[in-house]
């Protein structure tokens, strides 16, 4: 299956999340059945990151957005743990600080975009400023429209500088969210993730849905597409995200740079040194 074609938000079209089944799992019935394909994609990611890091001509930005408990942390853990930390960063964007609020809403984002050769993962992102702010009436409609334009311009700038941008909305149902909240309540290792705001925000589910639908539709473009990934099944979410990132990076047609030294001379020197040591004339 071409997961990119299946889940990409159409450029210039409307988006209705109710028409997308959050429990979709393609032809796989179980996690075990999907394991081979998932492992293959994760393996490709590791190899492609090595090429990206060595070539240092371009970068990759991955944006993760979702409802609360949608699986952003899990995706970072299960998908992107395949990456070498030396060439990857993860940034979580929480409620803006006073210093951040004193600047334009993109001010806190730009320092975290990836340098050439790097992959950056945003756990929440600049899109919070057209989602939470809209739902809670912190910005009006004209301001929201202006921010869509700012986001498109910002991402165009990154793309022009060689950044491949992939944006994922991890799509879960309202029922699945409640089930995950219940799991957090029962699991001591997850208790810390629960807050009163989680349940309070559920009252705004429909408002958040509308905000996501508009934001994704208005900002999904060829150089910075959005993908709505069904995420009720965590294992399928991991498969789809890893497959989409790997397929996109493969299309970059990267290659290892040519050596900047005389390999023939280094080989001769190496063999001469080995021969000398074996003859007993080395310094060791």
Tens place of pLDDT per residue across the chain (284 aa): 899 999 999 999 899 999 999 999 999 999 999 999 999 999 999 999 999 999 999 999 999 999 999 999 999 999 999 999 999 999 999 999 999 999 999 999 999 999 999 999 999 999 999 999 999 999 999 999 999 999 999 999 999 999 999 999 999 999 999 999 998 888 887 777 777 777 789 999 999 999 999 999 999 999 999 999 999 999 999 999 999 999 999 999 999 998 888 888 989 988 988 988 888 754 54
Q: What is the pLDDT of residue 281?
A: 57
Distance (Å) of CA 172 to CA 155, 183, 268: 26, 15, 60
Q: What is the pLDDT of residue 143?
A: 97
Which strands, in side-by-side order, build the sheet including 163-171? Answer: 88-92, 119-123, 59-66, 163-171, 226-230
How far is residue 186's CA from residue 179's CA, in Å, rounded to a whole number?
11
How far is residue 88's CA from residue 93's CA, in Å, rounded to a whole number?
16
How far is residue 46's CA from residue 70's CA, in Å, rounded to a whole number?
25
How far is residue 228's CA from residue 168's CA, in Å, rounded to a whole number?
6
Strand ranges in the chain using DSSP code E only, listed in sequence order? 59-66, 88-92, 119-123, 163-171, 226-230
How far is residue 114's CA from residue 161's CA, in Å, rounded to a whole number?
11
Superfamily of domain 3-258: P-loop containing nucleotide triphosphate hydrolases (3.40.50.300)
pTM: 0.92
* Residues, the chain: 284
How far is residue 163's CA from residue 157's CA, in Å, rounded to a whole number?
9
Q: Where are the domains of the chain?
A: 3-258
């Amino acid at each position: 299956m071409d997961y990119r074609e299946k889940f990409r938000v159409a450029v210039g079209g409307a988006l209705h999340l109710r028409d997308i089944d959050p429990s979709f799992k393609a032809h796989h019935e179980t996690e075990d059945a999907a394991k081979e394909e998932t492992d293959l994609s994760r393996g490709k990611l590791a190899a492609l990151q090595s090429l990206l890091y060595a070539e240092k001509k371009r970068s990759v930005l991955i944006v993760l957005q979702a409802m609360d408990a949608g699986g952003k942390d899990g995706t970072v853990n299960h998908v992107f743990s395949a990456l070498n930390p030396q060439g990857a960063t993860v940034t979580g964007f929480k409620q803006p600080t006073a210093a951040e609020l004193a600047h334009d809403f993109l001010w806190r984002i730009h320092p975290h975009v990836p340098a050439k050769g790097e992959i950056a993962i945003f756990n929440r992102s600049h899109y919070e400023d057209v989602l939470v702010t809209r739902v809670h009436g912190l910005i009006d409609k004209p301001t929201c429209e202006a921010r869509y334009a700012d986001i498109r311009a910002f991402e165009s700038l990154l793309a022009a500088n060689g950044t491949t941008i992939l944006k994922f909305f991890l799509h879960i149902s309202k029922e699945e969210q409640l089930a995950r909240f219940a799991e957090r309540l029962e699991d001591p290792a997850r208790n810390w993730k629960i807050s009163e705001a989680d349940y309070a925000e559920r009252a705004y589910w429909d408002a958040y849905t509308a905000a996501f639908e508009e934001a994704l539709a208005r900002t999904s473009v060829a150089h910075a597409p959005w993908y709505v990934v069904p995420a009720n099944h965590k294992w399928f979410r991991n498969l789809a995200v890893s497959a989409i990132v790997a397929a996109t990076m493969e299309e970059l047609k990267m290659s290892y740079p040519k050596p900047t030294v005389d390999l023939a001379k280094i080989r001769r020197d190496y063999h001469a040194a080995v021969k000398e040591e074996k003859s007993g004339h080395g310094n060791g």
